[in-house]
A and B are shown apart, each in its own frame.
Chain A
């Protein structure tokens, strides 16, 4: 089992905020930019890969009890989202790599022996 902090090291992600949640276990992954889809379909504990940067990403992650948000493609979260992630203790992580690459690396990481 791997937690959000270890995930950020393995996938070379920058920890922007929400470091209070770095011990949270990562139980799976989910990729989507439609927040309504994430609300409907993401599983608890998933690390969510997206290019959305809006404040509502934190609310959605909190609602679905996601383990981390990974903003791919070099996009930067809005400042309101950063503040909120610190309150909700949801790690907000960024990668310069695109969502496909980040998702592939996450998949391999979670599925290795």
Chain B
């Protein structure tokens, strides 16, 4: 086993706030340049650019976890990752069912584009993806786990769209595979004010919106090889796999 470096929170050009340069090819190129072994593709309430990024990554020796950053009805952001494309498609169905139709105004919020590996636009998303889903945090957690996915509340230290900002305290019965802290969060300070987080595996990611952000925060996984199951075992700290303290 050895350590693999992961940045599990990266937005593509499908997120309205994602830079136009954040095409799947550009993300893979930058991730490799930064020495990452694993990345997570997490667009706001969307999965459309994840598979193509995984394909490009696989050809270039980069493991890509496919998922999304979901916004629950409480406006808590959480990362969801799935092992296979079938489960990812079911996540997209769930999003389609629960995303209210608010038309995106690209001049205000930004473009929401699906692109191919040559950066040719294949589809523009009409619905504003940063809206909150009509699904509660507890339901989202249940749904993700029902498909064998990973459920990770995002940037817990942030003053907006975090589990603490929206819900004031960690909800009882939270069944998270990990909790994410943002780039500049001082772990020791945060844990001393939130000791209830100590039982959870913590990860740190960049929440990249432009190529320069990629890899500016990362988490090291002690695993056999980069794959979904190994990552899950590391998050759970079983079979000798673990996540390095951030």
Contacts and interface: CB of A to CB of B under 8 A. Distances in A.
B138 to A, nearest CB: 8
Contacts of A59: 168-169
A54 B136 contact: yes
B92 to A, nearest CB: 26
A52 B163 CA distance: 13
B166 to A, nearest CB: 6
Contacts of A54: 74, 136-137, 167, 171
Contacts of A39: 168-169
> A-side binding surface: helix, strand, loop or mixed?
helix
B168 A36 contact: yes
Interface string A76-111: 001000000000000000000000000000000000
B165 interface: yes
B137 A36 contact: no
Contacts of A55: 171-172
Given A36-B159, A36-B164, A56 B136 contact: no
Contacts of B159: 36
Nearest to A35: B168
Nearest to B159: A36
A83 B167 CA distance: 18
A56 B165 contact: no
A60 B168 contact: yes
Contacts of A35: 165-169
A66 interface: no
Contacts of B75: 33
Interface in B127-184: 136-137, 159, 164-169, 171-172
A2 interface: no
Interface string B99-139: 00000000000000000000000000000000000001100
Contact of A36 (B136, B165, B172): B165
Interface string A39-69: 1000000000000101110011000000000
A26 to B, nearest CB: 21
Nearest to A55: B171
Interface of A: 33-39, 52, 54-56, 59-60, 78
Given A55-B171, A56-B171, 4 more contacts: A35-B166, A38-B168, A52-B167, A60-B168
